[in-house]
Amino acid sequence: MSETWKEMLTRLYTGSSLQARRFRLALISFDALTIILFIVTAPLPKTPALNALILLVGAVILVDFCARLWISEDRGKTLRQLYTIADMIVIASLLVSPFIDESIAFLRILRGLRLIHSYHLLHDLRRMSPFFTKHEYAVVAAVNLFVFVFFTTSVVFAFFVDKAAGFEGYIDALYFTVTTLTTTGYGDITPETIGGKLFSVLIMIVGVALFVQLARAIIQPAKVSHRCKSCGLLKHDPDAVHCKHCGEVVQIETEGLN
């Protein structure tokens, strides 16, 4: 009996075959390109061509979202996941974008949360990339910081910078975000409203925490993710044979294991 559409999608989205891994890497490549598109087009004026492109991207993301939800064994749990909620917000903002003010464009950057918070993507990268396996926590922390910086930049550009300045205004927003996040505070660009000042405080609190998380992931000895079947410990040395917590044998996947 030939497989159904649902069975085929389940195999592609969750399977371990080479075809399934290539399909998921193609999806994540599309996700990365959409993030670049959202960042590049943020300071650009709305045009019919840009509106059509945004609608097309929104439609593709909507199809991907519906497919993931359709094959999910626990749809309630799937809908509660962080990157699923972010996807719903992004899809809504893309589909209504051509018809309303561009002040909601910053919501598109939330798409970046899917870049690294997908279980199957993480599993694929652990199997296919020795570099990712060794530096997983640093890569995840770097992506989190990247998403935060450009999401915040888009918020600053939408609400606290003169959007008529175009690309120059977007660079000012990025400059303000980075100087605030690093607590450098040169003082040449400062918020004048209460809302702007409170948002600056939020940037410092969240941004510094994410920056410290990245620094710690880089400085600390490399660990790999592998759940111990006995005690549940998640982090182990790359060459670990036994769990340091309970002594159980751990079988960490390496290039030499299939």
Q: Please state the pTM of the whole predicted model.
A: 0.70
What are the extents of the domains in the chain? Answer: 1-128, 129-222, 223-258
Q: Which residues pair with 236 in a beta bridge?
A: 224
Report CA-CA distances (Å) from 129 to 226, 233, 254.
15, 22, 10
Query: Is there a contact between 157 and 42 (Cβ–Cβ < 8 Å)?
Result: yes
Model pLDDT for residues 94-142, shown as the tens digit of each residue: 888 777 766 666 677 777 666 655 555 666 666 666 677 677 778 878 8
Q: How many CB atoms lie within 10 A of CB 109?
A: 24
Query: Is there a contact between 151 and 110 (Cβ–Cβ < 8 Å)?
Result: yes
The H-or-E segment that residue 76 falls in is: helix 75-80
Fold designation for 129-222: Helix Hairpins (1.10.287)
Count of alpha carbons within 13 angstroms of residue 251, beta-carbon side: 4
Higher pLDDT, 2 or 207: 207
Model pLDDT for residues 209-246, shown as the tens digit of each residue: 888 888 887 777 666 667 777 777 767 666 677 777 78
Q: Print burial letters for 178-217: b (CB count within 10 Å at least 16), e (below 16).
A: ebbbeeeeeeeeebeeeeeeebbeebeeebeebbebbeeb
247: left (phi over 0), alpha (psi -120 to 50) or beta: left
